[in-house]
Amino acid sequence: SITRHYKFDIQRKNVTRLCHTRSIVTVNGEFPGPKIVAREGDRVIVRVVNHVKNNVTIHWHGVRQIQTGWADGPAYVTQCPIQTGQSYVYNFTIVGQRGTLFWHAHISWMRVTLYGPIIILPKRGVPYPFAKPYKEIPIMFGEWFNTDPEAVIAQALQTGAGPNVSDAYTINGLPGPLYNCSKDTFKLKVKPGKTYLLRMVNAALNDELFFSIANHTLTVVDVDAIYTKPFKTDIILITPGQTTNVLLQTKPSLPCASFLMAARPYATGLGAFDNTTTAGLLEYLPPGVSSPSTPSKNLTLSRPTLPSLNDTAFAANFTGKLRSLANAQFPANVPQTVDRRFYFTVGLGTSPCPTNQTCQGPNGTKFAASVNNISFALPSTALLQAHFFGQSKGVYTTDFPSNPPFPFNYTGTPPNNSFVTNGTKLVVLPFNASVELVMQDTSIQGIESHPLHLHGFNFFVVGQGFGNYDPAKDPAKFNLADPIERNTVGVPAGGWVAIRFRADNPGVWFMHCHLDVHTVWGLRMAWVVNDGPLPSQKLLPPPSDLPKC
């Protein structure tokens, strides 16, 4: 293994989409940002220098950060933000992961323009567990706002109302031909009869997406940098925070043909979703030519069929098919016994409107979001520092409840989950505890699914279902053999999901809904994992350039 060095200069750049030119925050003037390429086992060192007025941090989403919690990145959780004119070096090793992850800013809504792929290749000489692709292409979904997204979220937080939705979804930063005044389209140029590996990332702020390519079938081989049992599908579902590698087999002979690829949201319940479609082109090159000589003309293209906005049946069916590869070379180390059990209700709620504000939530309240009715408040210093230096007093408490304050029941009318309290409460886990967590979706206005992301760990999705979780019956149906292993899971709309993980990584680890509007409303919490007895089980001291608050 080797060390890979990168430099990220956070700087502004004028970018035009949908006939609107805005000064956006970028890494090195690139949008989407540069890709990080490493092999399993490599060390990655990224020096981030902040040249803009906004505070920033960068998170290496899905990278396990064994013993290197200081490099994880969520603002006020593992570090104070990098302020204007300051820099910070993120230094971590990629252990036991191969596939696609991504990096993104982890403060406020800055990740809307600050994101890029992390490509993790297998160790040198180790093949993929599938046929070697002819080419590998990152496909990143995102969102474009014609106005400043920081102003959008600031206003939403002020008024307690839902924020404005974005103006377009994007594929590799480009909205594509189905939007008005959209000049740029992502084009994937392919040769006939070849296999391409598409490394797909959903970096959108607030929407789970369906994706498909007209007349082509995709084979899922890896999610969240974990190999899966391959399965064929015409459509994939990908939530913010998830990554999915698929193989695309091109047709034997189709010179110059073009097909539309498209993505649009899966959202349920609340009406405030943009139901528009981003599209790109799959273009077959003429025979014997490796780049197109003529611009593609025929735009009467076949369009892929995508599920409708509320197609929960498709979503459940798709996620139900995902399985870990779970063979001798890539075993699934699912915890077979449980040391600590948790049951969390996750969803939207409301909190009283502060007296000096006009709030636009239901009945004069303010929108909030919570886990076990606690809307998590970020401290003004970093939780990890407070933990490491034994200075938690006044920063956080360790009484996060293992269960909600009253039982949640879908058949009750209305579900009594609407009022939340604020708090900075954490759960403390002993090193190496085996944890089972059931997350039950709650909603006061319709039903909405929440992609929950856990930092510092992968977890196994051992069960999921609709309605109320039944602790007497449901565990008997858990898959403890080859459940999918990942870092972000959709808590199903109107249902629950059960995950297991081993708390073998010391530090403070954020868990939150990866819909950023829900994150800032408080659908977040954090776990403290204590050190283990061995030197390799202890959180190392912070680097000397760790930013100060």
Site for ligand C2O, residues 176 to 235, rule: CB under 6 A: none
> Which residue among 74, 265, 494, 495 contacts ligand C2O (CB under 6 A)?
74
* Residue 64 within binding range of ligand C2O, rule CB under 6 A: no
Is there binding between residue 106 and ligand C2O (CB under 6 A)? Answer: yes
Residue pair 225/120 in contact by the 8 Å Cβ criterion: yes
Q: Closer to ligand C2O by CB, 179 or 344: give it.
A: 344
Q: Which of 160, 241, 494, 547 binds ligand C2O (CB under 6 A)?
A: 241
Rounded to whole angstroms, the Cα distance separating 196 from 194 reads 7
Q: Are 5 and 45 in contact (CB under 8 A)?
A: yes
104 binds ligand C2O (CB under 6 A): yes
User: Side by side, which strands form the sheet with 58-61?
Assistant: 36-39, 115-121, 99-105, 58-61
Q: Does 459 bind ligand C2O (CB under 6 A)?
A: no
**Contact status: 512 vs ligand C2O (CB under 6 A):** yes
CB 403 within 8 A of CB 372: yes
**What is the C-alpha separation between 478 and 463, in angstroms, rounded?**
5
Closest CA to 501 of 373, 342, 371, 375: 342
The residue type at 68: T
Chosen residue from 510, 517, 518, 529 binding ligand C2O by CB under 6 A: 510
Tell me the window of 398-406, 431-439, 506-514, 525-533 that interacts with ligand C2O (CB under 6 A): 506-514
What is the nearest approach in angstroms of ligand C2O to the Cβ of residue 510? 5
Which helix (H) or strand (E) segment is 137 a member of?
strand 135-144
385-444: which residues touch ligand C2O (CB under 6 A)?
Answer: none
CB of 450 to ligand C2O, least distance (A): 13
Candidates 17, 455, 486, 518; binder of ligand C2O (CB under 6 A) is 455
Query: Can you tell me the distance from the alpha carbon of 250 to that of 259, in angstroms, rounded to the nearest whole number?
Result: 11
**264 lies in the site for ligand C2O, by CB under 6 A:** no
Q: Is 486 in the site for ligand C2O (CB under 6 A)?
A: no
- Which string of DSSP letters, residue by residue, matches 505-523? S-EEEEEEESSHHHHHHT-
Q: Which one of 26-34, 153-161, 396-404, 509-517 is the stretch in contact with ligand C2O (CB under 6 A)?
A: 509-517
Beta strands 340-351; 434-442: pairing state? parallel
Distance CA 370, CA 352 (A): 14
Asked if 61 is part of the footprint of ligand C2O (rule: CB under 6 A), the reply reads yes
Minimum distance of ligand C2O from residue 503's CB (angstroms)? 18
Residue nearest to ligand C2O (CB): 61
State how far the Cα of 11 lies from the Cα of 30, in Å rounded to an integer: 9
Site of interaction with ligand C2O (CB under 6 A)? 59, 61, 74, 104, 106, 241, 453, 455, 510, 512, 514
